[in-house]
Structure 1
Amino acid sequence: MSHPPADVDPLFEAVAAEMAAWLGDDATGHDLAHGWRVFHTAMELADSYPEADREVLGAAALVHDVHRAMGAGRDAYVHPEDSLEEVAAVLDDAGFPDAKRDAVLHCVALHEEYEYRGDRRDGDRIEVDLLRDADNLDAMGAVGVARCFAYSGAHDRPMWTPDSDDPSAVDHFHEKLLHLREEMHTDAAREVAESRHDFLVAFLERFEAEWYGRA
Structure 2
Amino acid sequence: MDIVKETENYVKLKLLGEGSGHDWWHVKRVYDNSLMLLKHDMNQNVNERVVKLGALLHDIADWKFNHGDEKAGPRAARKWLESQNVAQDDVNHVCQIIYDLSFKGGKSRSPMKTIEGEIVQDADRLDAIGAIGIARAFAYGGYKGQELYNPLILPKENQTVAEYKSQQTTTINHFFEKLLLLKDRMNTRPAKEIAMKRQRFMIDFLDAFLKENQAEDSWHAARLDRYKAMDR
- Calculate the TM-score normalised by the size of structure 2: 0.78
Give the structure 2 partner of residue 131 of structure 1. 120
Quick one: which amino acid aligns to residue 55 of structure 1?
Answer: R
Partners in 1 of 2:64 and 2:36 — Cα distance? 30
Gap regions ≥5 residues in structure 1: 1-8
1:96 positional shift? 4.0
Question: Cα gap change, 1:43/1:93 in structure 2, threshold over 3 Å: closer, same or farther?
Answer: same
> Aligned residue for 1:26?
18
Shift of 1:208: 1.3
Mapped to 2, the partners of 1:147 and 1:178 lie a distance apart of 14
Deviation at 1:163, TM superposition (A): 2.6
**Could you say if the C-alpha distance between residues 20 and 149 of structure 1 is closer, same or farther in structure 2, counting changes exceeding 3 Å?**
same
How far the C-alpha of 1:21 sits from its partner, in A, is 4.7
CA distance in 1 between partners of 2:185 and 2:101 (Å):
12
Q: How does 1:190-201 map to 2 (within 5 A)?
A: 190-201=192-203
Which residue does 2:68 correspond to in 1? 77
Q: In the TM superposition, what is the alpha-carbon distance from 1:102 to its structure 2 partner? A: 1.4
SS at match of 2:116: helix
The runs of at least 4 aligned residues of structure 1 exceeding 6 Å deviation read: none
Partner of 1:47: 39
Shift of 1:90: 2.0
TM-score by length of 1: 0.83
Letter of the structure 2 residue corresponding to residue 90 of structure 1: W
Quote how far apart the aligned CAs of 1:25 are. 4.1
Indicate the RMSD between aligned Cα atoms, in angstroms: 2.3
Instruction: Please say if residues 157 and 169 of structure 1, whose CA atoms lie closer than 8 Å, have aligned partners that are also in contact.
Output: yes
Q: Is 2:26 the partner of 1:63? A: no
CA distance in 2, matches of 1:161, 1:87: 38
Q: Structure 2 counterpart of 1:41, which letter?
A: N
CA shift in 2, pair 1:212/1:118, >3 Å:
closer
1:86 is matched with: 76
Partners of 2:39 and 2:78 in 1: how far apart? 27
Amino acid at match of 2:68: Y
Distance across 2 between alignment mates of 1:60 and 1:95:
16
The residue aligned with 1:3 is none
The one-letter code sitting in structure 1 at the alignment partner of 2:25 is A
Question: What percent identity do the matched residue pairs reach?
Answer: 26
2:161 alignment partner in structure 1: none
Letter in 1 for 2:184: E
SS where residue 160 of structure 1 aligns? Answer: coil
Greater displacement, 56-65 / 156-165:
156-165
CA distance in structure 1 between the aligned counterparts of 2:83 and 2:10, rounded to whole angstroms? 7
CA distance in 2, matches of 1:124, 1:191: 22
Distance 2:169 2:107 in 1: 21
Aligned equivalents of 1:113 and 1:91: distance in 2? 24
Pick from 164, 172, 175: which aligns with 1:173?
A: 175
Q: CA deviation at 1:18?
A: 1.8
- Asked whether 1:211 is paired with 2:196, we answer no
Distance 2:179 2:64 in 1: 21
